[in-house]
Structure formats: C-alpha cells, structure tokens
Amino acid sequence: MIVSFSFLQQVFLVFLRFVVGWHLFFQGLGKWWTIGWSSRGYLENASGPFASLIQYVPGHPMLLSFTDFTVVYGLIFSGLFLMLGLFSRLAALSGFVLLLLFFVASPPLPYLGFTVPGPEGSELYVNKTLIEALSLLVLAFIPTGKMAGLDILISDWHLRRNSVFSRRK
C-alpha cells in the first residue's frame, strides 16, 4: 500500500522530525558541556521492573563509561541526523531505543497511589519520554528524510549508481 502525504502533512512531519531532533541534539550537547556529567545518579535511582539490572551499571566503571558515552553521543548524533534528514530512519530508530531505555529505567508506575507525582504534574504509565520515543518510532517508518533532507541526495545517488550498474550488464 502506497501512502502519499499532502504538502501540509509533509511539512508537519518534517517539522516534527526537526524539533525532536533538536531536542535530542540539545540534550546531548548539554550533557557533553556539563563538566563531570554522568548517568550514575539516574541509573542508581532506577525504578520499575528492570531496576536491579539497571542499578548494576553504576557499580562497574567500564559499563558506566560506555553508558555515558552512548547517551551523550547517541543523543547528539541522532538529533543532528534527524535535523539534517540524513540517515533519518536509522537516527529515528537509535533515538527511539535511547529514549525507550530512559523510560524503562524510570517508568511512571504507581507506587504510592493512583498517580506518580513529578516535576510537571502527575503521570501514570505515560510520560513525555515515552511520547517522544513513540514519535521517533512513527518517524522511523515515514520517509521524512526523502520529503526534505539529505536522504534525498543519498536516494538520488543510489538510483544513479544502480542505473549505471544495470547498463553494464
């Protein structure tokens, strides 16, 4: 089934890709700029069904180092590639995985009643991290990089390269 999007739909999908990319990029950049930033505190305070597995990481310097590196550069490059529309499917999927891991480390599960109080109000099962992760999953399956982005150049290069090779046969 081929789905075509109107011009306005394409504009808003590309805009969504850009703003989510900006958010990821700026979050990664903020962590990179912050002297001594580490995911240690976040991991030590993990909650939910996978808490014991996640809390294992801060006690092992190599795992913590790898996690910190992956978070910072995963956010920066996923965000940058999303903003540019370059390898946008891969960028959206890698951003989705990162955000899903953040969500799993601290899900808004009820523990003192019906809702979980947070800095932005009460949450239950769904928070902004999950919503942004699901937005990235949607963007991974819609070729927004071919609507507006550097994926257009890659697609054109790939088509030209294949046509050259098909003429040689």
Q: What is the DSSP string of 31-45?
A: HHHSTT--SHHHHHT
The confidence score (pLDDT) of residue 33 equals 96
Q: Rounded mean pLDDT of 118-137?
A: 86
- 168 falls in which pLDDT band (50, 70, 90)? low
Question: Is the full-model pTM beyond 0.75?
Answer: yes
pLDDT tens digit string along 62-113? 999 999 999 999 999 999 999 999 999 999 999 999 999 999 998 888 766 6
- 133 falls in which pLDDT band (50, 70, 90)? very high
Q: Rounded mean pLDDT of 33-49?
A: 93
Report DSSP letters for 115-154, one per residue.
Answer: SEEETTEEEBSB-HHHHHHHHHHHHHTS-GGGTSSTHHHH
Q: Rounded mean pLDDT of 19-48?
A: 96
